[in-house]
A and B are shown apart, each in its own frame.
Chain A
Amino acid sequence: MLPYWTPVALSRDLAPLVVMPVVVDGAELALWRSASGRIAAWADRCPHRGMRLSHGFVRGEALSCIYHGWSYAQSGQCQRIPAHPDLEPPEAIRVPVHRAMESGGVIWVALAEPAALPPALAGLVPLRSVTLDAPFDPAAAGLAESGGAWRGTLAGVAVAVLVQPLPENRCVLHVLADGAATPAALVDASRGVETLRRQAEEALA
């Protein structure tokens, strides 16, 4: 298990009541945000029948499985089994919970105690997250490491790129851009991200 924070999503893309699947160090997780805004990263598996919890739904401060509606509190503890409304769920029915935090408009997850905080990303705004069916070579994209992120320009806009490795040589790029750029310039930078992905995938082909 990797002892550092892995970027898994842009904060903006995990609105309240949203649950999404993410992969950290090969582990499949359900990342979700409660109605009050709290985030959590859990093993993506309902302890009842193994259904992916990322197919589930968030109601208030709990995540419920789509299969039989078992709902789990922030601690991962099962709090309600709809088919047995009078039953207090045993403490053993609990979803494994991982460390998750938000910093710089990015959501980070760590499977083991991280040695350092995520990088500082001052002056940047979230642009988008894209998944590449290829590994990412920052040097080929003209980016250089600085302060824990790959930095450079896309379509003339200053960007910082965070890489989330996926199994099978895939990866997710979480791209942040200069907060002073105009919307039209950010659209160009978004198209620059598309180009970057195309080049990475063509290099693999």
Chain B
Amino acid sequence: MILYDYVLSPDCYKIRLLAALTGAKLTLRAVDFHPGGEHRSPAFLAINPAGTIPVMQDASLTLTDSAAILTYVAARSGPAWLGDDTPEMRARVALWLAFAQRLSASIGKARTHDMLQKPADIVACRKAGVQCLREIEAALVERHLMGDAFLAGNRPTLADIACFPHSMLAPDGGISVDAYPAIRLWTRAIRALPGFVEMPGIHRLHDLKPEPAGVQA
């Protein structure tokens, strides 16, 4: 499985995260998204005419959408992540995979505006981002009341992987995450999963590791 990847992209990171959690082997091809604009190069547009990342190639298959890539990696390497336990869980996974597009269009855009100087209506992006975070918070509160700790049910699924990165990275786009206690506990639960990997802006839970010994001069 070849992943056309950019280290600062939340949508690329969610593929790397799922691969790490499921033990899937990825071959990473770094795309110089910024400042090089390699996603607009003729060579890249030949692979994905839309000029978006991530892109996955596996044998004759080319996937240009992060929800599709997540679904494929899970089906190949960790089918439990598809969340097929019940019709309700399956529907919730579909719901949050679609919802993640709203996160990209709000928090994602605010972030590329602030970090990479990409054009955006920053006020509208931040307002929409706050609305997204409020909806995730409300959903997590409801799931907790019904006895579940994750977005689609009582265990982590693609729903959580799809929505986790933007929920953590919102401050990069000037959107505070201070006001969401359920999101805080949920993102901690995801960061505690065995095999979890980091990206810039999303660090592991240092509290789970023993204190390192003093560095000797």
Contacts and interface: CB of A to CB of B under 8 A. Distances in A.
Interface in B188-205: 188, 203, 205
A21 interface: yes
Contacts of A58: 207
A187 B146 contact: yes
Interface residues of A, number: 30
Contacts of A131: 178-179
Interface string A54-66: 0001110000101
A128 to B, nearest CB: 5
Interface stretch (B71-79, B85-93, B102-110, B137-145): B137-145
Interface string A135-161: 000000000000000000000000000
A78 to B, nearest CB: 15
Contacts of B211: 59
Nearest to A128: B141
B215 A190 contact: no
Interface in A185-205: 186-187, 190-191, 194
A20 B178 CA distance: 7
A132 B203 CA distance: 29
B182 interface: yes
B37 interface: no
B212 interface: yes
A150 B108 CA distance: 39
Nearest to B206: A57
A9 B206 contact: no
B185 interface: yes
B141 A9 contact: no
Question: Most chain-B CB neighbours within 10 Å: which of A9, A58, A85?
Answer: A85
A183 B145 contact: yes
A64 B182 CA distance: 23
A57 B145 contact: no
Interface stretch (A10-18, A88-96, A98-106, A111-119): A10-18
17 contacts: A10-B181, A13-B182, A13-B185, A18-B185, A57-B205, A57-B206, A59-B206, A66-B206, A82-B214, A128-B181, A128-B182, A131-B178, A131-B179, A172-B179, A183-B145, A184-B146, A190-B138
Interface of A: 9-10, 13, 15, 17-18, 20-21, 57-59, 64, 66, 82-83, 85-86, 127-131, 172, 183-184, 186-187, 190-191, 194
